[in-house]
Amino acid sequence: MTNVLLKIKDLKVAYGGIQAVKGVDFEVREGELVSLIGSNGAGKTTTMKAITGSLPINDGDIEYMGKSIRGQGPWDLVKQGLAMVPEGRGIFTRMTILENLHMGAYIRNDKAEILRDIDKVFGIFPRLNERKDQLAGTLSGGEQQMLAMGRALISRPKVLLLDEPSMGLAPIMVDKIFEVIRDVSAQGVTVLLVEQNASRALAIADRGYVMDSGLITMTGEGKTMLKDPKVRAAYLGE
């Protein structure tokens, strides 16, 4: 059986005085692309922040590669291969594209390999190469999302967590972002995707979970869930 890389066990998180996550269990196996879908306020982003150590958890546990990572900060987790592209992208707006990508390599010291990986990112996102000396804050939303994903990939993650990568993007840019997510997954990186565009997220997912009011309410294979009348009615507007 495929190794479980990430296991969330009875996770409870309060955020701003509200119990946003109420006892969530799910897992992500090595090499999988797992989509976590749900409406606004369902607790998806809070769950992602808890996994990456950006928010303290009230109860439960998070296991990564068979060991608890509860209480560890984002810095420690990136060193262990857990990288997140946050909602809102979180790029360094006053640095250039190239400087941002080098920031993704802060845990590494293999300079020649870093440069090779930056070239790979430029191969995936040629637009970034064209603008590599431009300040990141002057980029469009789609270009900033490309940069945030590229920066995360430079850390050579075992697990890539993506929080709402298509939010606010033009349709053509959404197509590009989902194409890259699929390609990254095909190259063997394990992906946990939180996404409001449920149809796109489930279409590329090996498995999906539905989150509602801080709880997991449904799970299944991505393409099976895509055809499920309940999922279609609640999240696909049908």
- Per-residue pLDDT reduced to its tens digit, 62-77: 999 999 999 999 989 9
Mean pLDDT across the stretch 29-47? 95
Mean pLDDT across the stretch 130-146? 96
Mean pLDDT across the stretch 35-46? 93
Distance CA 84, CA 140 (A): 20
Q: What is the β-pairing status of strands 82-85 and 159-163? A: parallel
Identify the CA nearest to 101 among candidates 28, 42, 150: 150
Mean pLDDT across the stretch 144-151? 96
pLDDT at 1: 55
What is the sign of the dihedral through the CA atoms of 83, 186, 198 and 127?
A: positive
- Per CATH, is 32-52+73-235 categorized as 3.40.640.10? no
pLDDT at 169: 93
- Per-residue pLDDT reduced to its tens digit, 161-183: 999 999 999 999 999 999 999 99
pTM, full prediction: 0.95
Q: Name the helix (H) or strand (E) containing 81.
A: none
Q: Name the helix (H) or strand (E) containing 42.
A: none
pLDDT at 131: 96
- Per-residue pLDDT reduced to its tens digit, 112-132: 999 999 999 999 999 999 999
Give the pLDDT band of residue 54 (cuts 50, 70, 90). Answer: very high
The string over 4-18, giving b where at least 16 C-beta atoms fall within 10 Å of a residue's C-beta and e elsewhere, is: ebbbbbebbbbbeee
